[in-house]
């Protein structure tokens, strides 16, 4: 038994050592490819749109003029701080300052040539409506036995309100259906919500849209918050701003890093380390470190999502596609790229301040995390618990970043209902 264990450890050590040169070669090539694509896209954008589009291959200094340095309104340092040994190539033959192409619809830029222009992707932008899409579930009129409770659901990165409408909403008990209003939000830049190109998708942008589209639109004086992954960071920011209105907060797989570890580059290196294995981490690293390679991926997958859906419907027996697959294409490269860097990475330094405010307000925080989560390390929730000592931490065995909800929908919904019903 000891010899077999020793042999297994030697094999793992050998494979780990073998991955080091493979990592170097793969990411060296991606550095070169991203630099070449930078030049390619600048000329192509200029040809198709009249002006080359600004990117982050240049040195810091081209960020938007209205950044006032108040944290929630800052661009992340990871946008300019990503290392690329071929960065100078990206500037060859390009003079002058790149700018966004002509603005349309009174300042809202939409439908870049490399983005999808179907109705579900640009709905609400062409007619000037910039409110978020909200899936609302209300109690039957006249049947509520007590004043309605409100719950706002925020999804994670590359997801949508479908995460909640397909998992929690169908599993509600009759009492909840009678007494709760549920608001599942498509965050700015995702799902069926607007995806403006003149937005940098900073924390403040996301908060303002939720306020406008949910809190103010429906006149919410109090509410519960439920969030997954990236949505947890936005939920904490929203709760800190409305600490007198929030009753409970439920965070599922939060990507939290303490302030001492919360420099944006540290978060990027933890959540999207440059590694070719496992495949999920490799995909995350490519899309997070390589702006132009990521844009290519979005062009082939997101812009042509209707073609891929048509193909999938014909090769799957049931002819329906899981909502997670659909959600993966419901964004633009601009919206996903900036949300990743400005919310997940750049927002890390704001989290401790939000948690201090929530602790002072005595708001109940419940955390759920899978012990097999490789997207947001399990240490994220341990560290959050250390900061918010009164929070309740629930570790779910054999669950990862998705199966913390998927596959246990009924159990998770019952947990939520218990939390809502037992708040003092």
User: Which residues does the annotation mark as catalytic?
Assistant: 155, 229, 373, 401
At residue 332, what are phi and psi to the nearest 5 degrees? -110, 160
Q: Can you list the positions of beta strands (E) in 220-376?
A: 223-228, 246-252, 364-370
Sequence-distant (≥ 6) Cβ neighbours of residue 5 within 8 angstroms: none
Residue 74 token pair: 């800052």
Q: Are 291 and 56 in contact (CB under 8 A)?
A: yes
- Count of residues making up the chain: 424
Alpha-carbon distance of 407 to 161, in angstroms, equals 17
Alpha-carbon distance of 319 to 323, in angstroms, equals 13
Residue 422 token pair: 């037992």
Crossing angle of helices 230-241 and 203-210, in 10° steps, is 70
Choose among 149, 152, 138, 254: nearest CA to 210. Answer: 152
Alpha-carbon distance of 195 to 161, in angstroms, equals 15
For the chain, what is the largest distance between any 2 Cα atoms, rounded to a whole number of angstroms? 71
């Amino acid at each position: 038994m000891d010899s077999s264990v020793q042999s297994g450890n030697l094999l793992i050590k050998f494979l780990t050592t073998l991955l080091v040169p493979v990592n170097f070669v793969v990411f060296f090539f991606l550095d070169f490819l991203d630099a070449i694509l930078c030049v390619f896209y600048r000329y192509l954008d200029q040809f198709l749109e009249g002006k080359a589009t600004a990117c982050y291959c240049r040195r810091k200094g081209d960020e938007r003029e209205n950044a006032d340095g108040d944290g929630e309104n800052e661009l992340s340092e990871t946008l300019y701080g990503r290392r690329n040994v071929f960065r100078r190539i990206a500037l060859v033959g390009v003079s002058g300052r790149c700018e966004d192409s002509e603005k349309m619809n009174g300042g809202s830029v939409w439908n870049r040539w490399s983005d999808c222009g179907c109705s579900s992707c640009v709905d609400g932008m062409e007619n000037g409506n910039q409110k978020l899409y909200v899936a609302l579930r209300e109690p039957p009129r006249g049947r509520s036995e007590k004043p309605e409770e409100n719950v706002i659901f925020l999804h994670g990165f590359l997801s949508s309100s479908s995460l909640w409408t397909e998992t929690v909403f169908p599993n509600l008990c009759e009492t909840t259906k009678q007494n709760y209003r549920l608001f599942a939000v498509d965050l700015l830049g995702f799902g069926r919500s607007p995806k403006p190109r003149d937005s940098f998708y900073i924390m403040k942008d996301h908060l303002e849209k939720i306020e406008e589209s949910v809190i103010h639109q429906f006149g919410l004086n109090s509410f519960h918050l439920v969030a997954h992954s990236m949505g947890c960071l936005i939920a904490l920011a929203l709760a800190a701003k409305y600490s007198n209105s929030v009753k409970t907060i439920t965070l599922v797989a939060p990507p939290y890093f303490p302030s001492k570890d919360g420099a944006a580059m540290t978060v990027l290196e933890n959540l999207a380390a440059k590694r070719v294995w496992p495949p999920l981490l490799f995909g995350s690293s490519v899309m997070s470190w390589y702006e132009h390679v990521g844009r290519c991926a979005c062009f082939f997958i997101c812009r042509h999502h209707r073609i891929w859906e048509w193909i999938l419907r014909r090769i799957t027996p049931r002819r329906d596609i899981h909502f997670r697959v659909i959600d993966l294409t419901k964004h633009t490269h601009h919206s996903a790229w900036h949300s990743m860097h400005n919310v997940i990475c750049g927002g890390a330094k704001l989290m401790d301040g939000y948690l201090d405010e929530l602790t002072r307000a005595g708001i109940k925080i419940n955390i759920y995390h899978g012990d097999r989560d490789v997207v947001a390390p399990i240490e994220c929730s341990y560290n959050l618990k250390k900061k918010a000592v009164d929070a309740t931490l629930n570790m779910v065995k054999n669950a990862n970043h998705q199966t913390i909800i998927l596959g246990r929908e009924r159990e998770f919904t019952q947990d939520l209902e218990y939390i809502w019903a037992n708040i003092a």
